[in-house]
């Protein structure tokens, strides 16, 4: 065979599309009865609007309840398309049968021609899969004929408005029976009742629209990317301490947030709580070199002095490590492994070495914390003297700093002498305002 002839036979056939304008409507329902399907388009049957593609604003109403004239219809979206309508003709089924896969003669009688005007198969099986099967069974005997081009398609992608039943409305029943038919004789019988209606069950006419939303809201539901599901059998796919709940049955799958902060390793105890903790709740992760260096330095500081304020500990670490983060988050994380803290009392918010109770010996009185309310100086302004501060009528400030009593005594000799010469109590008061030393009043 000539190669050019073989090449022409392998090419797809070419068809000429006639210049016939067609319109399409994608009905949201399965049409089994053509008359009922046309009835859903309303009484006017706006077929011209289906064919008109000049304006995209033209829409075709679709009534889900065509028998109820008060029900609001769906409105279509006139979308521009470029689809081709094909007429595919396959050999008519005669009803005769033979064994599949063989060339045996056909058996059975030929069915008489049908008088129906509808183009249906013998069993009325016009499913697309059946049609494709017919094309496969008759690869050389079916014909394809182009019909035309669909320039616009009406699609129903919007939401239906809220439906309100007016079957019990006296006014709407009277309006539907006398006005909507368009009969002049019935129209004369329609009249509005004068006056103002009062009492119960007042007949209220619903608004033309209940909602302006025509498109469904895209909620975008998806799984939180920071969550993990616990494996079956109780084995966990998340780090220890995050979302741990051993009381739940292992047979139920649980989803936990892996970014949630786990339980704190440190302790914040009340000033009258006994005994003091001897170790943190869990050990730190010493595999991180930066965390290991900070915790080792904190533990060395605790051996030098058993009680520190967070400010003094930060100053010590800042002098030791120049590469500390500016936000202090890493240091705050490591503080809970170096010591515990009191919620109130003389050593409020101080970092105390684990296992040490400062309430057991008066010698720890020098580590009490004092809170000073200092006036905040504006940037670029000159500080005021203590006489000017006392003459000011403002006595409340919103800026506080914590200092140890030992640090205040070293910086202020006069006050340090008062602290050293104060009488010692036999026991520690656990009040928020009382300290280990007696008040020295003049």
Closest CA to 192 of 165, 170, 168: 170
Q: Tally the domains of the chain.
A: 3
Residue 108 belongs to a domain: no
Same domain, 131 and 45: yes
Residue 49 belongs to a domain: yes
**Residue 317 vs residues 175, 289, 393, 439: alpha-carbon distances, Å:** 87, 15, 40, 35
Q: What average pLDDT score do residues 202-230 get?
A: 82
Same domain, 143 and 256: no
Same domain, 247 and 274: no
Same domain, 236 and 326: no
Which of the four pLDDT bands, split at 50, 70 and 90, describes residue 234?
Answer: very low
The answer, yes or no, to whether residue 376 has pLDDT greater than 70, is: no
Same domain, 37 and 65: yes
Same domain, 211 and 295: no
Same domain, 23 and 73: yes
Residue 7 belongs to a domain: no
**Residue 35 vs residues 42, 160, 217, 400: alpha-carbon distances, Å:** 12, 23, 34, 84
Selected residue with higher pLDDT from 357 and 241: 357
Contacts of 389 (CB under 8 A, 6+ apart): 375
Residue 3 belongs to a domain: no
pLDDT digits (tens, 9 = 90+) for 4-38: 655 566 688 888 999 888 888 899 988 888 888 88
Determine the pLDDT at residue 439.
43
Contacts of 3 (CB under 8 A, 6+ apart): none
Selected residue with higher pLDDT from 158 and 84: 84
Determine the pLDDT at residue 326.
59
Contact 347, 434 (CB under 8 A): no
Same domain, 249 and 345: no
Which of the four pLDDT bands, split at 50, 70 and 90, describes residue 347?
Answer: very high
Residue 113 belongs to a domain: no
Same domain, 354 and 213: no
Closest CA to 370 of 349, 391, 386: 349
pLDDT digits (tens, 9 = 90+) for 308-331: 998 889 888 887 776 666 567 888
Determine the pLDDT at residue 435.
45
Which residue segment(s) compose the domain that 328 sits in? Answer: 266-376+387-442
Q: Please report, rounded to a whole number, the percentage of residues in the chain having pLDDT higher than 90.
A: 14
CATH classification of the domain holding 36:
3.30.200.160
Which of the four pLDDT bands, split at 50, 70 and 90, describes residue 107?
Answer: confident
Domain termination site, one of 263, 295, 328: 263
Residue 183 belongs to a domain: no
pTM: 0.44
Quote the mean pLDDT of the chain: 76
Same domain, 131 and 145: yes
Same domain, 124 and 214: yes
Residue 171 belongs to a domain: no
Same domain, 20 and 152: yes
Please confirm whether the linkage preceding 438 is cis (ω < 30° from 0): no
Determine the pLDDT at residue 307.
94
Residue 69 belongs to a domain: yes
């Amino acid at each position: 065979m000539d190669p050019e002839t073989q090449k022409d036979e392998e090419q797809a056939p070419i068809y000429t599309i006639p210049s016939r304008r067609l319109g399409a409507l994608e009905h949201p329902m399965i049409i089994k009865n053509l008359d009922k399907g046309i009835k859903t388009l309303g009484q006017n049957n706006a077929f011209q609007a289906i064919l008109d593609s000049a304006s995209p604003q033209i829409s075709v109403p679709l009534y889900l309840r065509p028998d109820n004239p008060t029900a609001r219809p769906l409105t279509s979206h006139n979308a521009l398309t470029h689809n081709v309508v094909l007429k595919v003709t396959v050999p008519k089924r005669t009803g005769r049968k033979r064994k599949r896969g063989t060339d045996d003669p056909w058996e059975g009688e030929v069915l008489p021609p049908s008088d129906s005007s509808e183009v249906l198969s013998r069993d009325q099986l016009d499913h697309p899969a059946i049609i494709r099967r017919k094309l496969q069974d008759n690869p050389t005997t079916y014909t394809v004929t182009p019909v035309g081009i669909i320039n616009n398609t009406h699609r129903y992608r919007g939401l239906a408005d809220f439906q309100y039943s007016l079957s019990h409305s006296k006014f709407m029943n009277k309006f539907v029976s006398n006005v909507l038919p368009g009969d002049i004789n019935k129209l004369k019988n329609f009249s509005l009742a004068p006056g103002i209606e009062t009492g119960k069950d007042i007949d209220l006419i619903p608004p033309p629209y209940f909602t302006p939303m025509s498109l469904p809201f895209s909620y975008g539901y998806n799984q939180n990317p920071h969550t993990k599901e616990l494996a079956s059998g109780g084995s966990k796919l998340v780090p220890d301490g995050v979302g741990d709940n051993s009381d739940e049955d292992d047979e139920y799958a649980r989803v936990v947030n892996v970014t949630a902060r786990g339980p704190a390793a440190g302790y914040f105890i009340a000033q009258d709580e006994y005994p003091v903790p001897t170790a943190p709740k869990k050990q730190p992760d010493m595999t991180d070199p930066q965390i290991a260096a900070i915790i080792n330095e904190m533990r060395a500081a605790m051996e030098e002095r058993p009680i520190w304020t967070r400010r003094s500990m930060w100053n010590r670490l800042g002098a030791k490590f120049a590469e500390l983060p500016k936000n202090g988050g890493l240091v705050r994380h490591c503080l809970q492994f170096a010591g515990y803290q009191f919620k109130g009392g003389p050593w409020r918010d101080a970092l105390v070495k684990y296992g040490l109770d400062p309430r057991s010996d008066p010698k720890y009185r020098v580590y009490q914390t004092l809170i000073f309310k200092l006036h905040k100086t504006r940037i670029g302004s000159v500080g005021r003297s203590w006489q000017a501060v006392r003459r000011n009528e403002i006595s409340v400030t919103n800026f506080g700093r914590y200092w140890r009593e030992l640090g205040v005594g070293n910086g202020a000799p006069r006050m340090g002498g008062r602290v050293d010469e104060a009488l010692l109590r036999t026991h520690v008061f656990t009040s928020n305002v009382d300290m280990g030393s007696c008040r020295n009043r003049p």
